[in-house]
Structure 1
């Protein structure tokens, strides 16, 4: 399915991309991407930031893939799969034509090894174990057969998004070593993986990450020789680098920046739908998980669900969408976005409205009354003091949202101070529990299970950034994970969202879009996921990285149909409404159609990314 094919005005050679193929003895064809945040780990068992997930997807393969059309499951390392009638055994057939980048064969043993590490008690479990809920044993019965045995059904097991690592490399890494294992190039040798690209240069926290194409990739060699990521501190210099031709693609920019690029020759920009949300997160109770003693110093007020819920009524979500998001999004409500039509629960309208009078009344009822100075006090009569709010310096959205939040708190008689820090620093602050509230966001996986798991008690200090814990919520999470009746599971997930909305560890501010732009005079054949509305990169999979090619080679974008022919075929087949947008001689096919918002993981819908 051709989701977006860019036809060339002509090819410009420059610092960001080369005009000729390396096979002709000239410079490599290099696709350079500007990022607004650093990779925090190339180790797929340790990373948190969504940039890290993007790097893992280039380096490693997964059990299954997701289509660019509608996110339906597609074969990847597994060519087919089936479960027993009772759901307690899954059998996967593994490809027999895959090799690791060092030439060793990839077999079912590598998958059994990877999943076995996750089922252990090391750091691998903290990141991924929720996806293997109920799995008691993983066995490679031969080179091409993987069998998983379960104690209870797992409704999402085939979707498991765990990168598969080579046993012959990782088996030497002990559990203790895993905590600091970098999985980076050493002594000039690329990282060993089976994905479409090989990491040849880059360290976590660095400013440049360089990948070379894997010419022996089982699903076809990429059409570019290199993908290079450059980290910028903010949107403005990243956009300027695109305009100057220093990079070929920029990711995570604001709607305002997208508008500034529209109509510029040789550039195509879009506000792409994302499967994520942005939120204001409170410290709901940071603790030392071994001793149970509190850590950090959260304000007593933010530990109270009634206080947090009342502050949610002070939010004017529509104003945030109209001003901060420049209209590119919609007001938020819960952690399961509306694109998950079956699973999304929408709170009552009156609980989402901007109602400062009701917020004040609820604070009064909860004991947070106003003193003679107009400032609210704790129920014991002592001052609330100043709430510590944190925003991310690499996101204008983050800083603007918290500026509004500070004003709305002041209207209620609550003092606060906003501190702006880099994303990496904010992660440290969160893990130390030294905050009252911060702004960030998430991308949601192909099923909401992961996102729901981050709010369970055992994820405190790991994926949970709010430190929320409720045993009833945990019980519902376990139930939905093994529920095979889709309607019953949906009801359980609705109940979980209702609990989270009332306890308010998160105030979901917006479901937004993310701004992306490409030098369309250099590169073509970018694919959207989902088709017609979704992102060009930061997808569930590596579709664009494998499809993209120099603009002067764009006559066969999808491998079988020429670009112009594809636009005609799309309209004939009823894929959606084909819209041909003219931009200075550039023709772009945008297949407009309904799509399910399901993709990725940790990030702000704008920049945790």
Structure 2
């Protein structure tokens, strides 16, 4: 299940490496890329105590949701992805200017062979881990090999290594990928690199034991972790000068996680929080009139919200059915008939307070050239058309005004699953349930925790759900989740189509951009016909930040866009005198908090092993609001 989300912490305009579960209750700016990175142990870096004053002061970010794990190989929630870049670097890093571009990271340059079958990365000189040890191509090659071998890292990051046959490190500063076929997504490679000497001690079955506590965590990012772990409400970071970017002007970053947006709004008003993307559209409008606060709304270019279906839960190896889906949801004609049954404008107005913009395909507005436009009649709210299509597919009304199955049997109750922690998602699901009832269905809304929702999806014990996905830097990052190979892994719909899989493989190998765009549009047409998802909109991002302690906030991707999209966002900030005084005040026990727009994920997030490999990209719709 997307981001990643796609449901976890806050969405950002630029999502994680693959898709992620999106959060529906919070504003989604500045999450997927992470705005800071942890660096190392206090002894190795000479770090100060948590309350010590730093020249750059402290930035406080607030978000709704939680963090499942800081392990880059096993996280699911997008909130986790927001923090991981503080700690771990990749060979390439997100661009602050373009959703679809990547810039240098650990590698400062790369070469692609004319035939597309070899990609070579050249690492920067003098890279080091936070414990002082050299960071070399051997670390990068070992991490990529672990992803390539499958396991937890494979389902999270494997789409970047499709077609890669071998990964080699011919010398300390060179990583070479040999491919069986050209890749449309390389050389983008945002997979966080872990230290070989640590990772090799934890095979896949023990990967959940990877040391992530502040004292033992070895990292490479611009920050080191001073406080926080799985399930914590506070994560505190300190700038680490050993990062290749140099020392961040933001000395300390506190990420505080809350259960409600109202609490975050009050923290912004009081000045206890410097930034958040976890406010809804109404709250952003109210905050925009306050002194020293900039607040606004912008399109979330890389996310979408959908009604999803159990399209055929079955064991991927044996084909034996799993779970107990309503037989109707297994029928593409039934699913497609509901394309016009729901009113996106009403969902935006009532559930998202105006924080959802129109979208009716799985490729969002961040990738306009890849986006296919469905038939106009399928983009309107038209319950009469939905009723006619249901009748034509055999789902007719009986004498009691209830739909029957095509064989005449009574239609079993349809269950719609939703994350209970997301107010916007709950409201949207209630509206969907009412429209389904009006069409003659018996509806049950199953509100549950994100963990439970993930379990239900993996077990096949569901019919429909409301959720969302967040893309990263390429449409491939979520399109892969509709392939047959993702069943029981990241797929939340259990969709499997030979036609779709063939198109997916074709676009993955196609290096001619125009031809690839045409293939991706064909894929969207197949998805529209089979309707494993009915996409209903694109979340609007809301953000609020204070200008009395920090200056230099820089929007990304668009005017008024997210000012906390990635690590580079922090490097543009400069403290005012208030920021320095706030840092000093920490020694007396005051803690400033930064609210971060909870991506729940698309995002979510959740278990280890097979579950933990399922869908970090999912974030909640509210977090993307």
The TM-score normalised by the length of structure 1 is 0.84
Name the structure 2 match of 1:548.
Answer: 573
Q: Give the Cα–Cα distance (whole angstroms) in 2 for the partners of residues 337 and 356 of structure 1.
A: 25
**8 A Cα contact 2:437 2:443, kept in partner:** yes
**8 A Cα contact 2:541 2:624, kept in partner:** no
Cα root mean square deviation, aligned? 2.3
1:51 aligns to 2:51 (yes or no): no
Match of 1:118 among 147, 158, 178: 147
1:67 aligns to 2:95 (yes or no): yes
Q: Give the Cα–Cα distance (whole angstroms) in 2 for the partners of residues 289 and 206 of structure 1.
A: 36
Match of 1:222 among 208, 228, 248: 248
**8 A Cα contact 1:36 1:394, kept in partner:** no
The C-alpha deviation readout for 1:426-481, integer Å capped at 9, x for no partner, is: 22222222221121111111111111101111111211111111111111111101
Q: Give the Cα–Cα distance (whole angstroms) in 2 for the partners of residues 109 and 184 of structure 1.
A: 21
1:78 aligns to 2:78 (yes or no): no
DSSP 3-state at the match of 1:511:
strand
Name the structure 1 match of 2:515.
Answer: 488
Name the structure 2 match of 1:419.
Answer: 446
DSSP 3-state at the match of 1:159:
coil
**CA distance 1:25–1:292, shift in 2 (3 Å):** closer
Q: Give the Cα–Cα distance (whole angstroms) in 1 for the partners of residues 70 and 51 of structure 2.
A: 31
DSSP 3-state at the match of 1:253:
coil
**CA distance 1:248–1:425, shift in 2 (3 Å):** farther
Q: Give the Cα–Cα distance (whole angstroms) in 2 for the partners of residues 267 and 601 of structure 1.
A: 30
Match of 2:619 among 597, 600, 603: 603
1:237 aligns to 2:266 (yes or no): no
**CA distance 1:405–1:182, shift in 2 (3 Å):** farther
**CA distance 1:351–1:39, shift in 2 (3 Å):** same
1:252 aligns to 2:268 (yes or no): no
Match of 2:294 among 245, 248, 268: 268
Q: How does 1:489-508 map to 2 (within 5 A)?
A: 489-508=516-535
1:449 aligns to 2:449 (yes or no): no
- Residue 182 of structure 1: CA displacement? 4.7
**8 A Cα contact 2:306 2:466, kept in partner:** yes
**8 A Cα contact 1:371 1:377, kept in partner:** yes
**CA distance 1:248–1:421, shift in 2 (3 Å):** farther
Name the structure 1 match of 2:223.
Answer: 197
Q: Give the Cα–Cα distance (whole angstroms) in 2 for the partners of residues 138 and 456 of structure 1.
A: 25
Name the structure 2 match of 1:396.
Answer: 423
**8 A Cα contact 1:50 1:608, kept in partner:** no
Name the structure 1 match of 2:342.
Answer: 315
Which one scores higher on RCO, CA 8 angstroms, separation ≥ 6?
A: 2
Name the structure 1 match of 2:594.
Answer: none
The C-alpha deviation readout for 1:29-55, integer Å capped at 9, x for no partner, is: 332222211112211111111111111
Q: Give the Cα–Cα distance (whole angstroms) in 2 for the partners of residues 474 and 204 of structure 1.
A: 36
- Residue 288 of structure 1: CA displacement? 2.9
Structure with max Cα Rg: 1
Aligned residues: 540
Q: Which shows bigger deviation, 288-297 or 87-96?
A: 288-297
- Residue 232 of structure 1: CA displacement? 1.3
Q: Give the Cα–Cα distance (whole angstroms) in 1 for the partners of residues 268 and 200 of structure 2.
A: 42
DSSP 3-state at the match of 2:482:
coil
Q: How does 1:1-40 map to 2 (within 5 A)?
A: 27=53, 29-40=57-68
1:520 aligns to 2:536 (yes or no): no
1:42 aligns to 2:70 (yes or no): yes
DSSP 3-state at the match of 2:357:
strand
Name the structure 1 match of 2:117.
Answer: 88
The TM-score normalised by the length of structure 2 is 0.82
Q: How does 1:369-408 map to 2 (within 5 A)?
A: 369-408=396-435
DSSP 3-state at the match of 2:369:
coil
Q: Give the Cα–Cα distance (whole angstroms) in 2 for the partners of residues 201 and 339 of structure 1.
A: 35
Name the structure 1 match of 2:183.
Answer: 154
**8 A Cα contact 1:393 1:420, kept in partner:** yes
Q: Which shows bigger deviation, 387-396 or 47-56?
A: 387-396
Q: Give the Cα–Cα distance (whole angstroms) in 1 for the partners of residues 184 and 380 of structure 2.
A: 35
DSSP 3-state at the match of 1:312:
helix
Q: Which shows bigger deviation, 157-166 or 282-291?
A: 282-291
**CA distance 1:445–1:227, shift in 2 (3 Å):** same
The C-alpha deviation readout for 1:172-206, integer Å capped at 9, x for no partner, is: 1112212x235421xx5152111111223222233
Q: Give the Cα–Cα distance (whole angstroms) in 1 for the partners of residues 231 and 339 of structure 2.
A: 35
Which runs of 5 or more structure 1 residues have no equivalent in the other structure? Answer: 1-20, 555-599
DSSP 3-state at the match of 2:515:
helix
1:213 aligns to 2:239 (yes or no): yes
Which runs of 5 or more structure 2 residues have no equivalent in the other structure? Answer: 1-46, 580-615
